[in-house]
Structure 1
């Protein structure tokens, strides 16, 4: 068996084409979808992520506001910036790039974002709505993973899914999304004992560790025909890799995502989709 590749590049392009159509429809009704990004400090990786998001938005016809401030920016100043964007009727989505500098309380900042503009799906309101199966805006990476499953027609009902991650960005929201699809879900993390035993039982493994020194998913850890979703990115000798020993695991799995070109492109595509969804809600509220 050689696993079939789940191409995030192909699926992301499909999503972006749908977003383009939605943007045209909104513009025809006088609404220009707008995404505001906020970057604190000059971390190169964070700057690259923001640049990519801004670039993709512009390609799809989404207007952008780019706010970049020094790493010494005070928490109160950042709160005031977010509140300013909350009040700006021309801004439909607000994304504060994480992580923030240590002197800033991330929860306080995220909690200040208007839930109707929370295109990262991270506010407590969004998390609560997701738990109740009623979220409009969901975290982008988990949403992208679900889009991959749908595109490749991979049924989730009754499947045993093991997630290696318990973060608010990936593991926790993904758990809820999978439960909504009637999957049976096990969440493993850095304190899980005997993790290989859980992995060998899994129909689907979703790995998001991002540290090859601590963890590598090898072929002996999975059962024959498992579906492997690699969310992580790290560099080994300058090469971008995920958690998975790709060349070995693909000979045992039935489906697998590559790194790069797997989950990564989906995250940005779903951010664009969330921005258009937020703009659509705004237009309905304005016309009501």
Structure 2
């Protein structure tokens, strides 16, 4: 076999998994849940910027709502009026969920805006209560375990994608389904990278988390911290971590950044959640599965979160 034929054989073994294929599974789930709820849940989304990516996300959200039967209303407001608009919608009993398309101001004021959305209507799972629950692996809001906590949409979407492609071992109990897996994440943002690392570690994975300057290792907690994960600052190169990893996940928001494909081991699973393409096409020479984007699954997680909020509210 020639070298070129060998390369082609390896390349053909890589399967590209589209976010739209994964999203279809949850479209059916959401439709069924809405029928059980007995009414279309209502979501109000606020767009207070001119960011093309935010507008695209809004368009995807609107389409997903139409496809599943969710009552969706996009409100375009001036950023200076957004705070008052959110407070008014918090008090509107006809609204089940609220989301804001970020960035708005592009600074710490955006963090404040995340926190003024009522937790009872926070479809993005960004309130302090939900974030604390995530990091401490608390899955319910009440002692009876009837009200589920809300998880941030993009980290949740990545978990569901990993479940869909078989990274999770569904034969094992919750908390162990990533046992034996090593995962590298190139992104430690507070919105996606850090919570994702925590979620994966809580399920039993060893996670190497990279940002611009530092590397952290996330592992499942032990002893009195058994319920939550443990984080350790370590000295490790991206190449060293990647050589050990069964899964590599990237989320660098720059078209200039390309993950070094030569670091990947044969048969690795690669997932990119950045709007930029962090992997060159040559990733298929190494990967067994490649997921180039996650946006449409993220939108379906919004739908699932909206239903959780509506169900939690109806059980009051």
Aligned counterparts, 1:228-243, within 5 A: 228-234=270-276, 242-243=277-278
Q: Is the 8 A contact 2:60 2:296 kept in 1?
A: no
Q: Which residue of 2 aligns with 1:238?
A: none
Deviations 1:169-212 (A, max 9, x none): 21011011101210001100112474223222211111000313
Determine helix, strand or coil for the equivalent of 2:43.
Answer: strand
* 8 Å Cα contact 1:6-1:148 kept in structure 2: no
Q: 1:62 aligns with which of 64, 70, 74?
A: 70
Tell me the alpha carbon deviations over residues 80-123 of structure 1, each in whole angstroms, 9 at most, x when there is no partner.
Answer: 22121111111111101101124771121111111121111111
Q: Which has the higher contact order (CA 8 A, sep 6+)?
A: 1
Match of 1:153 among 152, 166, 177: 166
Indicate which of 106, 109, 125 corresponds to 1:105.
109
Deviations 1:12-36 (A, max 9, x none): 0110111011111112xxx430111
Q: Which runs of 5+ in 2 are unaligned?
A: 1-9, 140-148, 169-177, 215-235
- Measured on the aligned residues, the alpha-carbon RMSD in Å equals 1.8
SS for the counterpart of 2:285 is coil
| Deviations 1:48-87, CA, capped at 9 Å, x for gaps | 22122122112211112221112xx32xx42222121111
Q: For residue 282 of structure 1, report the CA deviation from its aligned partner.
A: 1.0
Residue deviations 1:208-227 (CA, integer Å, cap 9, x gap): 003132x2123202111211
1:170 to 173, 180, 192: 192
- Contact 1:40-1:101 within 8 A present in 2 as well: no
- Compute the TM-score of the two structures, normalised by the length of structure 2: 0.79
> Which one of 21, 31, 37 corresponds to residue 20 of structure 1?
31
Residue 187 of structure 1 is matched in structure 2 by 209
Q: Which residue matches 1:131?
A: 135
How many residues are treated as equivalent by the alignment? 266
TM-score by length of 1: 0.87
8 A Cα contact 2:47 2:76, kept in partner: yes
**1:212 alignment counterpart:** 255
Question: Are residues 1:114 and 2:114 paired?
Answer: no
- Equivalent residue for 2:14, pick from 3, 11, 20: 3
**Segments ≥4 residues shifted beyond 4 Å:** none
1:244-270, CA deviations, whole angstroms, 9 ceiling, x for partnerless residues?
113x11121122113xxx412111111
Q: Confirm or deny that 1:82 pairs with 2:93.
A: no
Instruction: Indicate the residue corresponding to 2:241 in structure 1.
Output: 198
| Aligned mates of 2:238, 2:121 — CA distance in 1 | 38
